[in-house]
Amino acid sequence: MTSTDAPDQTGSTGHAHPTPKQYVNIAIVLAILTALEVSTYFLDFGVIAIPLLVVLMVVKFLYVAGWFMHLKFDSPIYSRLMYTGLAFALVLYAIMAIVTLFDHAPMI
Partner 1 sequence: MATDVATTSLNLDHRKLAMWTFLGSEFLLFGALVASYLLYLDTTAGGPGVEIYDIPFTSISSFVLLMSSLTMVLAHHAHTKGDMRRMRLWILATVGQGAVFLGGQVFEFNVFVREGLTLGTSPFSSAFYVTTGFHGLHVFVGILLLSSLYVLSLTGKVKPSQHVKTEIIGLYWHFVDIVWVIIFTVVYLIPEIAALD
CA pair distance 61, 55, nearest whole angstrom: 10
Classified as helix, coil or strand, 86 is helix
Nearer CB in complex with partner 1: 5/105: 5
Nearer CB in complex with partner 1: 1/106: 1
CA 97 vs CA 27, 54, 86, 89: distances in Å:
35, 18, 17, 12
Minimum distance from CB of 69 to partner 1 (Å)? 5
Nearer CB in complex with partner 1: 99/108: 99
Nearer CB in complex with partner 1: 93/107: 93
State the residues that interact with partner 1 by CB under 8 A: 1-3, 5-11, 17, 20, 23-24, 26-27, 30-31, 34, 37-38, 40-41, 49-50, 53-54, 56-57, 60-61, 64-65, 67-70, 75, 77-78, 81-82, 84-86, 88-90, 92-93, 96-97, 100
Instruction: Count CB neighbours of 71 within 10 A.
Output: 19
Residue type, 64: V
DSSP E strand boundaries for 6-85 = none
Minimum distance from CB of 108 to partner 1 (Å)? 23
User: For the chain, what is the largest distance between any 2 Cα atoms, rounded to a whole number of angstroms?
Assistant: 71
